[in-house]
Structure 1
Amino acid sequence: MPVNVVAPYLLTALLPGPRRTVYLSSSPHLSGHPSLAAGVNWQGASAGSYADSELFVTTLAAAVARLRPEVLSNAVDPGRVPTRMGGPDAPDDLELGPRTQERLAVSNEPEARTTGGYWYHRRSEQPHPAVHDEAFQDRLLRALAEETGVALD
């Protein structure tokens, strides 16, 4: 949670805008649970759910797109690439993964100037239904503001 959610939240809240934001997510967000009721260990003292953390950061991207219309904000799934985490037999191309992030960060092509999307290999994909649930977005942002003492304005 500290790396996948809290750090991107703080960077977003503290850096001046307008700008483009590209959040790193992954397909496991699809099996994440859109619940904060049981309490989330934002400090990382326990492993927590990787899928939940990916759902939260994908939701953060959508919330920023909604609340800061001047910011192009998207989440990107680089695929399962051959890294220490993905393993040496990971099926995705290590070179293809960052191309989507780069395109969303700097391209002026109309498709790259969208906001609030979830992307995989230069294609917009359908995220978990909770990602665009404004009530869940607001609950997540309140929980992160309470945890960090920094509000996302």
Structure 2
Amino acid sequence: MRVFITGSTDGLGRAAARTLLRQGHEVVLHARSGERASTLADLVPRAAGVAVGDLASRAQTWHIARQVNAIGTMDAIIHNAGVYARPGRDTTPEGHAGTLAVNTLAPYMLTALMARPRRLIYLSSGLHRQGEGPLDDIDWQERRWDPSRAYAESKLYVVALALFLARRWPGVISSAVDPGWVRTRMGGPGAPVGIDTGQRTQSWLAVSTDPEAHISGRYWHHMKPEPPAAQATDHAFQDALLARLRELTGVALP
């Protein structure tokens, strides 16, 4: 299986890459910059390629899609990259631009621009249940900036995207994953979940022959399906969200 993993220079993305490479799969890595790509030196000799670009930038997200498409069609894509709030940008509306762009807009754009794989996996968070709300200001142009709310909303949107795709593309297995509060750079050293546990579900979904892994439209937590926020399952909400994502990015989903 050939798998592309966004945000694979550290944390859960790197752990998933190592797991899949150890199992003998082809893995295409991703780094935000050339400098970050240098941290992949130990994995690159075994990898099928490395895409470089900042997912906070629409232009660079387009470039990432072109790089991966040039390698070939992926069997699975793990949309792993995510941010809570970028340092120095988390007290202004521009900070939310980074949160929304990386956590929601980039997965949407890559899904629309890349050759369609057989499996799509989107990393969310249990905090998505705190993100329920209206769609008329998802880019925080009117509201007072709230980093925790912005993060929760972005993770709600990515669950809704995964569930929308499960019904839009019946030939694709589309899943959302809550890895838990994991001991990564984002989660911090006090997080209760180890990195191996945190990466296990998405790695399994990407390549497993288990019939359970072939059921589309599920929200997973530690290898078990769970009910997501009700709003994420609402078809009207999903449709309205996808229309808004198309408007914000200028990219239409096939």
Report the TM-score when normalising by structure 2: 0.57
Matches within 5 A, 1:46-125: 47=147, 49-125=150-226
The Cα shift of 1:69 comes to 0.5
Question: Partners in 2 of 1:145 and 1:56 — Cα distance?
Answer: 13
Which segments of 5 or more consecutive residues in structure 2 lack a partner in the other structure? 1-99
Q: Which string of whole-angstrom CA distances, capped at 9 and with x for unpartnered residues, describes residues 15-70 of structure 1?
A: 12242000010100011124112x12189xx6461110110001000001110001
Residues 81 and 93 of structure 1 are in contact (CA less than 8 Å); yes or no, is this contact kept in structure 2? yes
The Cα shift of 1:113 comes to 0.3
Q: Alignment identity in percent?
A: 52
* Letter in structure 2 aligned against 1:40: I
Matched, 1:10 2:123: no
* Letter in structure 1 aligned against 2:139: N
* Letter in structure 2 aligned against 1:142: A
Question: Partners in 2 of 1:96 and 1:18 — Cα distance?
Answer: 25
4+ residue runs of structure 1 moved beyond 2 angstroms? none
Question: Partners in 2 of 1:116 and 1:10 — Cα distance?
Answer: 19
Residue 40 (structure 1) aligned to one of 123, 129, 138? 138
Secondary structure of 1:119's match? strand
Secondary structure of 1:49's match? helix
Greater CA drift, 110-119 or 12-21:
12-21
Question: Partners in 1 of 2:118 and 2:248 — Cα distance?
Answer: 25
Residues 62 and 116 of structure 1 are in contact (CA less than 8 Å); yes or no, is this contact kept in structure 2? yes
Residues 74 and 115 of structure 1 are in contact (CA less than 8 Å); yes or no, is this contact kept in structure 2? yes
* Letter in structure 1 aligned against 2:169: R
Residue 29 (structure 1) aligned to one of 101, 109, 128? 128
For residues 144 and 88 of structure 1, do their structure 2 counterparts lie closer, same or farther at Cα, with a shift above 3 Å needed?
same
Residues 28 and 51 of structure 1 are in contact (CA less than 8 Å); yes or no, is this contact kept in structure 2? yes
Question: Partners in 2 of 1:112 and 1:66 — Cα distance?
Answer: 16
* Letter in structure 2 aligned against 1:67: R
Question: Partners in 2 of 1:100 and 1:18 — Cα distance?
Answer: 18
Residues 78 and 97 of structure 1 are in contact (CA less than 8 Å); yes or no, is this contact kept in structure 2? yes
Q: Give the equivalent residue in structure 1 for 2:230.
A: 129
Count of aligned positions: 150
Which segments of 5 or more consecutive residues in structure 1 lack a partner in the other structure? none
Residues 42 and 147 of structure 1 are in contact (CA less than 8 Å); yes or no, is this contact kept in structure 2? no
The Cα shift of 1:85 comes to 1.6
Report the TM-score when normalising by structure 1: 0.93
Q: Give the equivalent residue in structure 1 for 2:245.
A: 144
